[in-house]
Structure 1
Amino acid sequence: MEIKVRCARCGGTNVRLPEKLKENSIVACQSCGGRGKYGALKAQALTEAEGLFMGKLGELYKH
């Protein structure tokens, strides 16, 4: 299972993270230069992971 974090501005996946991650750390998109907070990016990744997990779990019950 692969989770890609995406830039909220352009949808790109080339996001640069700072060395020391904190909720309010600034992350930067290498594609468009957009900036955001690590906390928001982490929340987006967790939501995507949950969706992937629930999809896989649902596939198990189809059989």
Structure 2
Amino acid sequence: MKLTVNGEEHELLAVTLAEVLQRLDFEGDWLATAVNGELVQKADRSSYRLQDSDRIEILSPMQGG
């Protein structure tokens, strides 16, 4: 499946958002995720089914001031 993750195109064998995070080595309870501009809660990632050409944003908090 072709997916765009944080602006980069990927060809991944993944069905759910949780699988994408695992395949791309994103870990942590502090991640925020969105698919096609819609926030996806952590509890919903394992059941959130992706479609070809979805745009995924994976965000992590930044420190500093």
What is the TM-score when the length of structure 2 is the normalising length?
A: 0.25
Larger CA Rg, structure 1 vs 2: 1
Larger % of helix: which? 1
Larger % of strand: which? 2
What is the TM-score when the length of structure 1 is the normalising length?
A: 0.26
